Every structure is written in C-alpha cells, then in structure tokens.
Chains A and B, each alone.
Chain A
Amino acid sequence: MDHFDEFSRPLEYLSPLDKHLRTVLRTYIEQEIMPLRRRYDEDWKEHTLIEPAFDKIMGELGLQKALFPQEYGGWGLAGSDYIFRFAYQLCEELGRADTGMAVALAVTFWPLLVIHLEPYVNERLIAEFAPMFCSTNKAVFAANAMTEPQGGSDIENMGLLKGRTIRTTARQEGDQWVINGHKLWPTNSGGTARLFGVPCTTRPGSADIDDFAFIYVPADAKGVTQGGPYEKAGMAADKNGDIWFDDVRVPAWYRAHGPGRDAGAFYQLISFGQVASTAFLTGAMMNMYERLYEFVSTRTYRNRPLKENEAVAGIIGRIAGDIDICRILGHEAAMMGDRRNKPYGLPLVSEELVGKIRNIKDFVSDRAVENLGKAMDVLGCYGPDRDWDIEKHWRDIKIIQLWMGGKQLCQMESARYFFNCETL
C-alpha cells in the first residue's frame, strides 16, 4: 500500500465535492494544523493557536456556511442528497489532524441541522441565523446544549425517555419563551459558541414528545451565563463548560418547529452525530497508521525493522485490517443517512436507522480504543511521547467513545432494534 487513502471506501458513495474538498482541506491541514497540534494541549484555555486555525477553515474556507442555502450565502449542502457523506469526509480529514477541531466544526452544524433537514425545515430561522455564519470570515460556532447535571446522556435516549428527565424548562409568555435551567458539557461552550440549540421541556416530567421543545438562544441573550472551559484528557480544541439559563427570553418563533416536530427534528441529530463520530475515529486511526508505518519501518526488533518480525507484523496487520473495515463501515453509516429520503432508505427518525448507526459507531469506537492502545505499546518507550502523535489520538478517541451516551446507550439502541426489546 502506497498511501493511507488506499484504505477501502466505496467509491460510488463519494460525494461530488470529495476530490476538491480533499485537496483543499488536506493541504491546509498538513501545512497549518499538523505542525502545531502537539502544542494544542497547552492551549486548551486560551485557544491562542487554535483560534486562527478555526478562522481559516471555518471562516475563510467557508465551511461554517456549508448547510445554509445558496441564496443566504451558504453552500446549500443541507438540501443535497449527500450531506452525511460530505460531513463524513470533512470529519475524517479533520479528524486525521485533530479530532477536537473536527468535533467543534461538526457540532456547529448540529443545532443548525434541526432547521435544515427535510422534512424539518424552518425558512424563517434559517434566514435569521444565516448572516451570523455566512457574513464573516471569522469562525462562528454553534452548540447543542443538551446534557444536564442530573441526567448524563438521558437526553440522547429519546427513543425511550422522550424527554421525561429534562429539567430545563421553557415557558411561553406572550410572544416569548422564557428558559430556565442548567446545561453542561456542550461542545463549543466555555465561551465559544454564539448560538445555542437548547432542548427543553414545556412540562417537567412529561414523556409526551409534544412537551419537548428545541429552542435557539443567542449566547449573548440576557440571562445566559457561561462558565470557563473544563480541563480534559484531550481534545483541547473543543471547549466544554457549564451554561446557566436564568429567565432567558427569546422570541416565540425561535422554537424550531413546535410540539411533536421538535422531537422528530432533534432525533435526526443523533445519527448525524454518530456518523460524524465514526469519521473522527477513522480519521484518527488513519493518521495513527501513518505514524505507526514510519515507526515500524525505521525502528527495529532483533536488529530488523519491526514490521519484518512476524509477531509484530501480526499485531500491526490486525490494526491496519481493522482500519480498513472501519472505514467501509463509516461510509456505509454515512450512506444510510443520505438514503433517508430515498424509497429504499430509512427515515432518520426510526429505531432501525438509529440502532444500526449507533451499532457502527460503537463497533468502530471499540476498534479505535483497542488499536490506538496497541499502537502505543508497539512504540514502547516512544508510545507515550507526544512527538509521535499516537498518544494524542489515543486520548482523544477515548472521549469519542464516551460521549453521546457512550457505549452502553449504543448497546441498548442496538438491542432494542435487533431483539425487539420492549422495556430497555
């Protein structure tokens, strides 16, 4: 194999933007991000190094506009039939360099997808928020403020809980929503995002999806308070913190779609997030392969290159084989998302699709966690060395395994679908 691009992917699945995006983005990533990424960990709070990189890819290259229709200055990709595959490619490329940056960008799409993806399109809100993202060359972030202190990943378990455990409330007063609650851990919080998508309940304790509300809140709205970023094991480019909503008032039409439809639109996000997560993982594993290739070719055991020792070859062969399989699965997951509107596809709001895509993400997460760990061991005393990059990916991809409900929720979603479980 001559190049990491030769890891398998179904060529017929590639988006029309594939070649162009790969060329432009990869050049930038290799010149601007990869040489600096070893210093990102120390930049977790200030983002002195990270912010200019975001300005370049999100603002100047324009990726933050990608979802918005062309008439608003965007690229119109949310309306295309390849938005999942485009996102996969984008997240894989960025994940190869830095999964923290990849998630910060992908999560900016997340709340915006709630108003962009058919059949849940809200033209008025698109027009409202388009200038924020499309009229600047600086990076602008959005965030989904989901997780709450008491519930962990319960909010993402919509299939079962239907928002019953949400404590952030939305109360309508005249032509405004009044929001109160406490969210924590959103990607792009910690002072980064300019716009929040906030899952709320209009009736605390209710498991009626009509009482689930998804409401947009500008970060500078009165009553919004943000804490500083948490310090984490990795992913320094992704800031996470607390957000308090204290009698925050927004226009009534900032609710995404209304009773019942908000839950459906929100549920669509789960699969998008899992596809993007899978892409981060395959991107990180591909870069691991590059670095591992260099190590096992130049370092020796028994005075022969490591890769020429059968026992070591058995380990690294399995690692590469797993990457190959995971990449195929990742593209398949993305394609499942893009088939959503086709007669032979599944709607995004279906237990079958959610279960299958979560299953792929869970599988790829496990492979990534295991293989990055093994790769560190192959490097021996150089495994924990930041200069070899593998340990950075090892720290980052563990975070990907744990987020969005983590492994156990993936297992439950799979069991629910494949075994028709009724009480899980």
Chain B
Amino acid sequence: MNRSLDYLFGTAVGDRGEDAQGVISLVRQWAEKEVIGNRLDYQRNYAVLFEEKARVLALSMGLQRLALPEDQGGFGWHDPGHVADVAAVLSEVGRADSSTGVLLTMNYALFSILTRFSEGREGLVEAMTASYLDDGLKITSCVLPGPGSAGRETPLYKGRSIPALVESRDSGSTLSGANIRPFAAGLRADLFLAVCADEKGRPCIALVPGDKPGIQRGREVLTTGLNALANADISFVETEITRESLIQEPEAVPMLFTLLNLFLGGVSLGAGMNFFEILGDWSHSRVIRGSTPLKENPLCASVLADVAEDIACSRLLLEDLARLVSPSPRAWSLDTEGLYTYAVMIGARIQKGIMRAINRGMELMGSAGYAKEWHAEKHWRDVKTIQSLLCGVGAAAPVKMDTARFFYDCKEI
C-alpha cells in the first residue's frame, strides 16, 4: 500500500500530545515487530506467544501502568481527558491482537472506575495500584448484566439481568451468584470487576480479587475468538468483599459501559484496520480472469470501497465518542445517562461496521479469507466475539431500547 493508515484514516498520531504520540508510536512498533511481522509464527504458537508478547507490551513497555495513578508510579491515563489516547493505543494493540487489546481494556476500565470513585477508597486504590505495578501480568475480568434464566427473577440493569447479588454484613458484604459468564478471562482472572445488585436491587460494581475464598471457576469455555483469554463460568459463593470494594455510586455502572464501548471500539477498529491492510495486499497481488488485479475490477473495487467506508466511518465515530467522554469546554456536554446512551449506540455501530467490513472483504479473498495462515479469519472471529459479548443479550434489542428510552422518554420498555 502506497499510503499509510494515518493518511487514509486520520489515525491518532497527528493531533495528540507529545506523550500520547510517543506511546502510540511505541505500541505500533511493538505491533509490527512482535506480532504483525511474524504472523505465521504467532498463529502457530499462539498460546505461548500471546503471553510472551503481551508481557513485553504490558510489563517491559509499561502499558500495564498506563491507567495507574501518576503519583503512585503509573502514567495517569485514567481520567476522562485521556480516553481518546487510550482508545488510540488500544487500536494499535487491536491491529496486532484483539485478545491483548481486551486484556488491557479491562485493566484500563478498572483503574478509570477506581480512580473516578476513589474518595474514601484511597487505601484500596493504593493497594491495587501496587499490585498492578509489580512484575506480573495482571488479568482483569468483567462481569456484566446479560441474559437471565426463565423462572428466576433478578434485579435488572436497563432490562438486562444482574447476575450477582450483594448482601451487607457487619464488616463488609458478601457477593453471591451462580454460573455467571464473565466477558472474558474468567478462568485466570486476578480480579473481577463485577456488576452486581445491592439489597435494594440497585446496580453497583464489586471489585473481587480472584483468589478470594468462595469463588468457584468452571471448566474452560471454548469460544469463537479471544481464545487467549481463557474464559470460564464463575460462581460467587458468599464471597466476602470489603466495604470500599463495593462501588455503589449510581454513575459507576453506566460509566463502565461507556468505557467498555469506547475502548473495545478501539480494539475492534484496530483489528479492522489490519484486516484492511491484509485485504489491500490481497487485492493488489491477486488477479481475476487471468490478468486483472482484483482491485482494478469494478465489482471487486466496489466491495473494497464498502470495506474502506465502514472502517473510516467507524474511526470517525470512535473519535466522536471519545470527544463526548472527554471534558472539554468546546464539547457538547451530556449527563451520565446521555453519555451512556451515546456510548452503547455508537459502540454497537462501530462493532457492526467493523464486522460488516471484514465480512464483505472476506468475500474477495475466497479460501484465503478462512485459511488461518492469512490471519483475516482471526480478526473476523475476534471482532465477532467482542460484538456478541458487548451486545449482552438479545442482539441489537437492548441497545435499541436504551436509545429509545433516552430519545423518546420511554418508561415501560
């Protein structure tokens, strides 16, 4: 390809601060040197190399510290002013490997939430920061509201069932919930960021260390994508949590959804952009009817155009969402609900757009589209997995209900 992704899609580097530019450039180098340049090797030895390369990124290059408080040794990218930079970093990571992007997303969401609601939790913030500063790769898993089971009523978060319940005790609280499917990484998580309901059915977030007594993990679940983040159903059996580990502020859960939609939008966008590169090479080097490069055939070119359009529009939407989340005197200001609605609406649109781009582009690649050696299929599986997980349940229906509720003031849906 003659022109860079930055030129074609206006990718991050140009109008960011110096620090952000530096981090993004470093991550891009990691992506190209460690993963993209060694795709075949990475694919064939995925289980081992995922861990190895993720460690390089998270520990040697310090990305695990990105959202940790600056005064405690982190980079301080946990505040809303940095969300656009974080999303851009995650795009670079997603270009290489979505699982690594999801791994970092969960860590960044954790510290963004934790520091936003740090008042009265200073000790917890300090302890968690210290834990994520040490030499180990930390895996955070997220439990979100989703499908419930027929015949068993649960508290709801905007229609979605909240799978875990908190009960107050003298010294703190206990968390209970059976056979819960986390977003990812349930099998190995060092910490669970679990949406739960308090005794009044109000949604809140519990931060539960993975080694707490009372956490039971099921067998590994085989999934379409994000395979490196081994998932498993978990049960909380009267798992004790401290008072400060329970975040009951009403803004916490909407904020979690907002951040996940933004950050995972970045991860999927990155995967989409790498797919764009793969497809670009393919359409340049392969011929149709014996001699015409694919990209010079009008029908194939129209498919390529659809792919580029979906990726470019997703990129612009992601930038817009980041701007909405960042406080700026020039920006249009939304309350928590408004921001939540825009986040889930735009987040769903980004996932759909990237998925459509990959689905369409694969049409031109024939068998190379589904052969593992070309790597297109991995992006396809990973992004579809993120899309399904992020939807929660019922496909587009819950997001449509959220949208209608906000825009039309619906009361019953």
What is the interface of chain A, defined by CB distance below 8 A to chain B? 38, 41, 147, 150-154, 157, 160-161, 164-165, 185, 230-234, 240, 295, 297-303, 305-306, 309, 311-312, 314-315, 369, 373-374, 376-387, 391, 394-395, 398-399, 401-403, 406-408, 411-412
CB distance from B80 to the nearest CB of A (A): 27
Interface 1/0 per residue, B148-165 and A, CB below 8 Å: 111001101001110000
Cβ A152 vs Cβ B370 within 8 A: no
How far does the alpha carbon of A401 sit from the alpha carbon of B361 in the complex, in Å? 12
B222 touches A386 (CB 8 A): yes
Number of A-B contacts (CB under 8 A): 186
Note all chain B residues with C-beta closer than 8 A to A403: 366-367
The answer to whether A311 and B183 have CB atoms under 8 Å apart is no
Instruction: Report chain A residues within 8 Å CB of B208.
Output: none
C-alpha gap A300/B380 in the complex (Å) = 28
B65 within 8 A of A: no
Decide if B391 touches A380 in the complex (CB within 8 Å): yes
Q: A311 touches which one: B153, B370, B380, B400 (CB < 8 A)?
A: B400
25 A-B Cβ contacts within 8 A? A150-B287, A161-B289, A165-B289, A232-B371, A233-B370, A301-B160, A303-B153, A306-B147, A306-B393, A311-B413, A377-B388, A377-B396, A380-B391, A380-B393, A382-B147, A383-B385, A383-B389, A384-B384, A384-B389, A385-B221, A386-B223, A386-B224, A399-B370, A408-B299, A408-B363
Flag if A299 contacts B150 (CB, 8 Å): yes
- A300 vs B369: C-alpha distance in the bound complex, in angstroms? 36
Q: Which of chain B's residues 334-389 have a Cβ closer than 8 Å to chain A?
A: 355, 359, 362-367, 369-373, 377, 380-381, 384-385, 387-389
Closest to B389 in A: A381
Question: How far, in angstroms, from A231 to B373 measured CA to CA in the complex?
Answer: 8
Alpha-carbon separation in the docked complex, A232 to B401 (Å)? 38
Choose one: B148, B181, B366, B385; the contact of A300 (CB below 8 Å).
B148
Inter-chain contacts of B401 with A (CB < 8 A): 311
Knowing A230-B373, A306-B393, A312-B397 are in contact, say whether A408-B224 is a contact too (CB < 8 A).
no
Specify which chain B residues have a CB less than 8 angstroms from the CB of A380 in the assembled complex: 146-147, 388-389, 391-394
How far is B394's CA from A185's CA once the two chains are assembled, in angstroms?
A: 37
Which of B153, B380, B393 has the largest number of chain A CB atoms within 10 A? B393
Inside 8 A of A314's CB, which chain B residues have their CB?
Answer: 397
Instruction: Count chain A CB atoms within 10 A of each CB in B161, B225, B365, B367 and give the residue with the most.
Output: B367
Contact partners of A369 in chain B: CB under 8 A: 359
Q: Is B384 in contact with A373, judged by CB distance below 8 angstroms?
A: yes
Nearest-neighbour CB distance to chain B for A358, whole angstroms, equals 14
A303 to B154, CA, bound (A): 7
Check if B303 is an interface residue, CB within 8 A of chain A: yes
The answer to whether A232 touches B394, judged by C-beta atoms less than 8 angstroms apart, is no
Take A312-B394, A384-B385, A385-B223 as given contacts and tell me if A152 and B286 are in contact as well, using a CB distance cutoff of 8 Å.
yes
A387 to B221, CA, bound (A): 8
Residues of B within 8 A of A297 (CB): 150
Closest residue on chain B to residue A38 by CB atoms: B222
Residues of B within 8 A of A295 (CB): 147
Contact of B365 among A160, A161, A164, A402 (CB under 8 A): A402
Assuming A384-B385, A401-B363, is B224 touching A395 (CB within 8 A)? yes
Tell me the interface secondary structure of chain B in the complex.
mixed
How far, in Å, is A31 (CB) from chain B's closest CB? 22
What secondary structure prevails in chain A residues at the interface with B? Answer: helix
With A152-B366, A408-B303: A384-B225 Cβ-Cβ less than 8 Å: yes
Smallest CB-CB separation from A303: which chain B residue?
A: B153
Q: Does B230 make an interface contact (CB < 8 A)? A: no
- Give the contacting residue for A382; candidates B181, B288, B362; CB below 8 A: B181
Query: Which chain A positions have C-beta within 8 A of B299?
Result: 408, 411-412
Residues of A within 8 A of B397 (CB): 301, 309, 311-312, 314-315
B43 → chain A closest CB, angstroms: 8
Query: Can you add 15 more A-B contacts, CB < 8 Å, to A299-B393, A315-B396, A386-B224?
Result: A147-B367, A232-B377, A295-B147, A297-B150, A300-B147, A301-B398, A305-B150, A311-B400, A376-B388, A377-B388, A379-B393, A380-B392, A384-B223, A384-B224, A398-B362
**CA of A385 to CA of B182 in the docked complex: distance in angstroms?**
12
Residue of A nearest to B377 (CB): A233
Q: Is B395 on the interface with A (CB-CB < 8 A)?
A: yes
| A407 to B362 Cα, complex, angstroms | 10
B59 within 8 A of A: no
Q: Which residues of B contact A406 (CB under 8 A)?
A: 363-364, 366
Interface assignment of B17: CB less than 8 Å from any CB of chain A: no
Question: What B residues does A309 contact at CB under 8 A?
Answer: 394, 397
Given A230-B372, A395-B381: A311 and B394 interface contact (C-beta under 8 Å): yes
Asked if B289 contacts A157 (CB within 8 A), the reply is: yes
Find out whether the CB atom of B377 lies under 8 angstroms from the CB atom of A160. no
If A380-B394, A381-B393, A406-B363 touch, whether A298 touches B150 (CB-CB below 8 Å) is: yes
Does B13 touch A at the CB level, under 8 Å?
A: no
- Does residue B144 face the partner (Cβ distance < 8 Å to A)? yes
Q: CA A406 – CA B287 in complex, angstroms?
A: 15
The smallest beta-carbon distance between B348 and chain A, in angstroms, is 9
Which residues of chain A have C-beta atoms less than 8 A from B181's C-beta? 381-382, 385
Residues of chain A lying within 8 A (CB to CB) of residue B147 = 295, 299-301, 306, 379-382
Decide if A407 touches B144 in the complex (CB within 8 Å).
no
> Which of B147, B303, B364 is most buried by chain A, counting CB atoms within 10 A of its CB?
B147
Q: Look across to chain A and name the residue whose beta carbon is closest to the beta carbon of B386.
A: A384
A273: min CB distance to chain B, Å:
15
